[in-house]
Structure 1
Amino acid sequence: MRVTAVRQWIVEFGYYNAIYVRIETDDGVEGVAEVAMRRRTRTVSAIVEELGEYLVGKDPTRIEQHSERMYRDSFLGGTLLTIGMSAIDVALWDLNARALGVPVHRLLGGKFRDSVPVYTHARATETPETFAREVADRIAMGFTAIKTTLPGFYTKVSSVHHETPAAIPARQTETELLPNWIWPLLAEYFAAAREVAGPDVHLMLDCHGRLNVANAVRLCEVLEPYHLTFIEEPVPPERPEWLAEVSRRSTTPIASGERWAGPYAAAPFLEQRAVAVAQPDVIFCGGITAAKRIATLAEANAVSIAFHNPFGPLASAATWHLAATLPNLLISESMLTPEQLVFWDRYTDDPPRVSGGEWLVSDEPGLGPRLRIEELVKHPFRPEYDRGGTR
């Protein structure tokens, strides 16, 4: 069996663009994948095209070899490269599993669990009261774990602009002066959320690296009474020692990892115990191959895995097939809003479904979902989604 073509389609996906990839072979077996990088879609597309040129004519069963060569032969690494690698890698796993008529998780060692717990998102909104209503709405949908972005810094955000102006400017750096009112306001938000959620619902906070170390510690102190499951990226994620200091001074677990470009980037954070929760993204870090290595490193350092995954059906399927095999899984992210699910059903047949905050592990061949090419071509790339304007 040899690869004959690697094709891709860029499509609009609500508030960003997604790239769908299909690897074709001379045996007629195909594998598909989905990646996305807001603001750099065309760059990633070019990398996928170049990696696809390398793959044509090769044996698609040599996944480990291709992962190594795509990484080393590129010479310069970084997340943009590993996103392109992810598209190829995930499609190869799908292709190989379909060739054998088995689900991807079977090739990864088989099920450790029969269902994967997932969390969803609630907007921070303009007031604690409206945020509490958002949380109550997600609980009514059956979720028992909910994450939000940093109140005051975010209300409703797209990849293009802040749809509602934030109290803290979008481009304010982590070292600039913060107003004193932000700390009691943060406490009010999570007091309201905890009141409607009760003690058993997991609440999480994503800071997008907006604070310096001192203010991150202050944030952890302010939110300690509300027993968050984790605080994500309280400081910029480039330096493990920054996260390690916050972790040492916080009783709330600290999470990070969505921007890791493979296991070599992840290793210092895990070895230094900079985080209690690792958040690799299967479509950012180099694919299933790289994410599995990161998960193994995390397990060896007693760190839990909470996958970053705010994307669509194939990205979710790839993430959850791997998640089903891991002994150190904590939970996985999902973006299962009604607005996003429209695109899941538009672009794929048999997308993964979540009920009661869990994905029941599928035994369908490959990743499960199949692409609807006729729909992909109807909804092409939208340049305005790649302009930026938020941190």
Structure 2
Amino acid sequence: MEITSIDVYLLDAGNQREYRRPVVCRVHTDEGIFGDGEAGIPYGIGAPGAFGMLQDIAHLAIGMDPMENEVIWSKMFKASSWGLGGGGIIFAGISAIDMAVWDIRGKKLGVPIYELLGGKFRSELRTYASQLQFGWDDKIGPWKTPEEYASVTQYALDQGYDCVKIDFTQIAPDGTRLPKHDVEGIPTPKTMKMLDDRMGAVRATCGWDFDLMVECHSRTDAISAIKLGQLCDKYSCMVIEEPTIPMNPLMDKAVHEKVKTPIATGERLYGRWNYLGHFLNNAVQLAQPDASNCGGITEVKKICDMAEVFDVTMQVHCSGGPLSTAASLQVEAAIPNFCIHEHHFRSTQPDIRRLCKYDYQPVDGVYEVPDLPGLGNETSDWAIEHALKHAQVNSAKRGLNG
């Protein structure tokens, strides 16, 4: 079998277009089997860069055998030159091609990807409702008052979730985006009271028999994260996520030495090399690699295996489109050190849900792992027909090292 051409699409997320611009590819073969993959730079800035990078790196895969995923991955990583630096855009491109290759392998052999990864440890995945500061399902934020944070949390719990994640630092009391400098350094008493009031209202109203994950989005630094971490300890939180900029694991280590609540991080770490410092320094207890930007399924499985050596539990980060969700489910089913699956607020919205053929959603806070061959999902006809941009690559680049 041989890869003959690769289509690259910048998808239209409709009303979410300001926040989400998923970039996907479809890898075609001479046997008529195709595979889909996602480049995980879907939100904020960067989607056009991922769209261009995916076109460029696609040339490296043309003519190769999709059954040889390790060979293809190594070529993309080394021949691209920039892959050796572990940047987000290049790794998003690698991830999309790799994900599509695994999809092809599963379809060729007639099995789900989890079978190719060694088998299924579980058929159901405990799932948390993620980023409730923006809303949940049809209850749309952003939220300002402590009472609103408690209300949206209860709304998710009433749907059967027993774990939620909230960034209490993103939204100011007036509903605008809280400036980052307000949660860096030594927080003012006013800021600490805002955080305490919000977290306290969630516990006072919704109780203590569910897990509360506290998101920081690297808005905090080591100083402010320790102060916030003390509140996490007070309110018995499951984890504090991305408390510092992840490029320096010593800062997460500093937080961990002062705070009892475990640290979660990893969505902005690319490749196993960038994880090693966190593992060696015991700077992460819940690792969160993103299958659509950490190097694809080939690489995320290696990160999960390496994490097990350091007693680190895993959650495959999932905040992109439905293809990213599909890849996460396949990997999480096949690893022994799985902790919990992320279901992002944006993934509850119709404009994201229609981008794939199948609309998988959790039931009572639990995801079932699809048993269809490959990823178990594919980009929908609607998404392809309404794509904002489309490019096709059908030739190999010559003269590249690797």
Q: Does the alignment reach a TM-score above 0.5? A: yes
Cα deviations by residue, 1:174-201 (Å, 9 ceiling, x for unpaired): 6556332111221111111112332221
Native 8 Å contact 1:174 1:209 kept in 2? no
1:109 equivalent among 101, 104, 118: 118
| Distance of 1:348 and 1:195 partners within structure 2 | 39
Unaligned runs of 5+ in 2: 134-141, 390-402
Q: 1:127 aligns with which of 114, 127, 145?
A: 145
* Equivalent runs, 1:136-215 vs 2, <5 Å: 136-151=154-169, 153-154=170-171, 164-166=175-177, 168-170=178-180, 172=181, 175=184, 178-215=187-224
Letter in 1 for 2:34: E
Match of 2:244 in 1: 235
CA contact (8 A) 1:351 1:368 kept: no
Q: Quick one: which of 20, 23, 32 aligns to 1:19?
A: 23
1:92 and 2:101 are equivalent in the alignment:
yes
Correspondence for 1:3: 3
C-alpha change, 1:292 and 1:115, in structure 2 (3 Å) is same
Alignment correspondent of 1:277: 286
Aligned residue pairs: how many? Answer: 371
1:62 aligned onto 2:68: yes
Could you tell me whether the CA contact under 8 Å between 1:258 and 1:281 is conserved in 2?
yes
- Give the letter aligned to residue 169 of structure 1: P
State the 1:24 CA deviation: 0.3
SS in 2 for 1:242: helix
Contact 1:348–1:371 under 8 Å retained in 2: yes
C-alpha distance in 2, partners of 1:178/1:65? Answer: 49
8 Å Cα contact 2:114/2:334 also seen in 1: yes
Give RMSD over aligned pairs: 1.9
Q: Which moved more, 1:55-64 or 1:34-43?
A: 34-43
- Match of 1:234, SS? coil
Evaluate the alpha carbon distance shift between residue 297 and residue 339 of structure 1 in structure 2; reply closer, same or farther with a 3 A threshold: closer
Structure 1 residue 372 displacement after superposition: 2.1
- Give me the whole-angstrom Cα distance separating, in 2, the residues matched to 1:42 and 1:337: 20
Could you tell me which runs of 5 or more consecutive residues in structure 1 were left unpaired when the two chains were aligned: 157-162, 382-391
- What letter matches 2:79 in structure 1? D
Work out whether 1:353 is the aligned partner of 2:364: no
Any idea what the Cα deviations from partners look like across 1:51-71, whole Å, max 9, x if unmatched?
A: 211111111111011111111
Of 205-214 and 79-88, the range deviating more from structure 2:
205-214
2:39 corresponds to which residue?
35
Q: Deviations over 1:161-181 (max 9, x none)?
A: xx9423x314x3865563321
Q: Following the alignment from structure 2 to structure 1, what is the Cα–Cα distance between the partners of residues 388 and 50?
A: 16
SS in 2 for 1:333: strand
Structure 1 residues 338 and 73: alpha-carbon distance in aligned structure 2, compared to 1, 3 A threshold? closer
**TM-aligned CA distance change 1:3 to 1:370, over 3 Å:** same
What is the aligned partner in structure 1 of residue 127 from structure 2?
A: 118
Instruction: Evaluate the alpha carbon distance shift between residue 379 and residue 80 of structure 1 in structure 2; reply closer, same or farther with a 3 A threshold.
Output: closer
AA of the residue aligned to 1:73 = A
Residue 150 of structure 1, CA deviation:
2.7
Structure 2: distance between partners of 1:32 and 1:114? 23
Residues of 2 paired with 1:40 and 1:282: CA distance?
A: 17
Which of residues 253, 256, 259 is equivalent to 1:244?
253
Worse-matched range after superposition: 127-136 or 332-341: 332-341
Counterparts of 1:40 and 1:338, CA distance in 2: 19
Cα separation, 2, equivalents of 1:359 and 1:330: 13
Residue-by-residue CA offset, 1:238-267 (whole Å, 9 max, x unaligned): 101000010111111111111111001111
Change in 2 beyond 3 A, CA 1:177/1:198: closer
Question: 1:314, 1:351 within 8 Å by CA — same for their partners in 2?
Answer: no
Work out the percentage of aligned pairs sharing the same amino acid: 29
Stretches (4+) displaced over 6 A: none
Match of 1:45 in 2: 51
Separation (CA, whole Å) in 1 of partners of 2:183 and 2:199: 22
TM-score, normalised to structure 1's length?
A: 0.90
Describe the SS at the equivalent of 1:17.
coil
Identify the residue that residue 79 of structure 2 maps to in structure 1.
Answer: 73
| 2:76 partner letter | M
Residues 9, 377 of structure 1: 8 Å contact kept: no
Deviation string 1:203-229 (CA, Å, 9 cap, x unpaired) is 111111122212211111123121111
Q: Find out whether 1:334 has 2:343 as its counterpart.
A: yes
